[in-house]
Homo-oligomer: A and B are copies of this chain.
Amino acid sequence: MSCVASASKHEGVAAQAHAPGGPRVIVAGATGFTGALAAHLLWRHPDFELAAVSGRSELGRRLQDVYPRYRVPMLIEPLEVERLEGVDAAVVAYPHAAAAPTVGALRELGTRVVDLSADFRLSSLPTYERWYGEHPRPDLLGDAVYGLTELHRDRIAGAAIVANPGCYPTASLLALAPLARAGLIVDVVIDAKQGISGAGRVFDETTHLSMAGENIVPYKVAAHRHTPEIEEQLGELDPAHRQLKVQFQAHLVPLDQGELASCYVTTTRPVAADELRGLYADAYADEPFVELVEGPPGVLEVRETNYCRVFAAADQHTGKVVAFGAIDNLWKGTSSQAVQNLNLMFGYPETLGLT
């Protein structure tokens, strides 16, 4: 389906949303859910100029014909890195291992990159190899900064490569960071639930409404690759517990966008409700996109926003701390956090184009 409305009108709309003159950003891999959303957010951003959207399929179609909701009238083109000129930054939305070579090629042109894949999220090469196999560009690992904005804001601002976090680590780490920084985490179980958009633009039994609707399904039992990413970041926050093994389990539930990480923490010592509240309030007092709430958060409250809602409570019965992080997996979990990072990288207010 495509719009029959006259091109001139759409060009008018485009001109309105477009921001010629600002930093030029491309999206590589714009036909997947996260790449398309990144393109949409950049298109409507007041300062960035969306310079191109590329894909391996749907070539020659306009992005808005593939994703009608996003109303980005640009044509999907093949990515030809050698022909890129005057591009200031790229969002790379490729699968793991496929991303690193493109990131490398872009770096050679001097383009700054926000990479949505896992290729540069782990600073430890042995850990990467244990979970993912051989790394295509280990030489670039040192140039990458882990892109959970709230944890690495300063380093992201100057980074050549920002390794945008996984959606599960985003929700989990924001729920756990105040405890980790206080050195309190001895053991943690993370039970995460996500909408079907988390499976991406994949067409199989996982995503068919007749099979995925009215269902709750755990997946990748005892082997989810987001585990080492969470462990490495918790280890940075709390070096004394660097050896902590995280029990992480993902589930698909029947909605489109939304993700909740429920975290069950065994602490080094009892934590009173007041102390807990203080830890979280201090950690997030100045964060524009973390909303500390006083009761259990629902993912609908953050849908299509860059917010993460966080709630923590001490369980008097067991002595454990229960902490929740609720996000939109496609937004704060991926694409709007990429824009949050781009804002930092180009000196804009972090919230620009996101509220």
Chain A residues engaging chain B, CB cutoff 8 angstroms: 1-6, 9, 13, 16-17, 33, 68-69, 187, 189, 191, 193, 195-197, 201, 203-205, 207-219, 221-223, 227, 245-247, 249, 251, 253-260, 262, 264, 266, 277, 281, 284-286, 288, 291-301, 303-305, 311, 313-320, 322, 324, 326, 355
The answer to whether B203 and A245 have CB atoms under 8 Å apart is no
Does the CB pair B4–A253 fall under 8 Å?
A: no
| Contact in complex: A254, B256 (CB < 8 Å) | no
Shortest distance in angstroms between A213's beta carbon and chain B's nearest beta carbon?
6
A193 to chain B, nearest CB (A): 5
Supplied contacts A209-B213, A210-B257, A218-B297, 11 more A-B pairs, CB within 8 Å? A1-B297, A2-B294, A5-B291, A9-B286, A9-B288, A69-B300, A196-B208, A196-B210, A214-B303, A216-B253, A249-B264
The one of B6, B223, B256, B258 that contacts A209, using a Cβ cutoff of 8 Å: B256
Partner of A296, one of B13, B217, B298: B217
With A251-B260, A294-B1, A296-B221 as contacts: A245 and B318 at CB distance below 8 Å: yes
| CB <8 Å contact, B213 and A69 | no
| Given A4-B281, A216-B255, A295-B1, A247 and B300 contact (CB-CB distance below 8 Å) | no
Q: Assembly of this chain: how many copies?
A: 4
Contact at A292–B3, with CB atoms within 8 Å? yes
Q: Which of A195, A201, A204, A298 has the most CB of B within 10 A?
A: A298
In the bound complex, what is the Cα–Cα distance between A227 and B317 (angstroms)? 10
CB pair B207 A208 closer than 8 Å: yes
Contacts of A314 in B (CB 8 A): 222
**11 pairs, A vs B, C-beta closer than 8 Å:** A2-B293, A4-B277, A16-B355, A17-B355, A196-B208, A214-B299, A215-B258, A217-B299, A222-B322, A227-B317, A304-B304
**Pairs of residues from A and B, 5 with the lowest C-beta to C-beta distance, nearest first:** A191-B191, A222-B315, A203-B203, A68-B301, A1-B295
CB distance from A280 to the nearest CB of B (A): 8
* Nearest chain B residue, comparing its CB with the CB of A312: B221
Contact of A221 among B214, B223, B313 (CB under 8 A): B313
Contact B317 A213 (CB under 8 A): no
Are A208 and B201 within 8 A (Cβ)?
yes
Partner of A293, one of B3, B189, B219, B292: B3
B-side contacts of A227, CB under 8 Å:
317
How long is the Cα–Cα vector from A215 to B266 in the complex, in angstroms? 28
Closest to A220 in B: B296
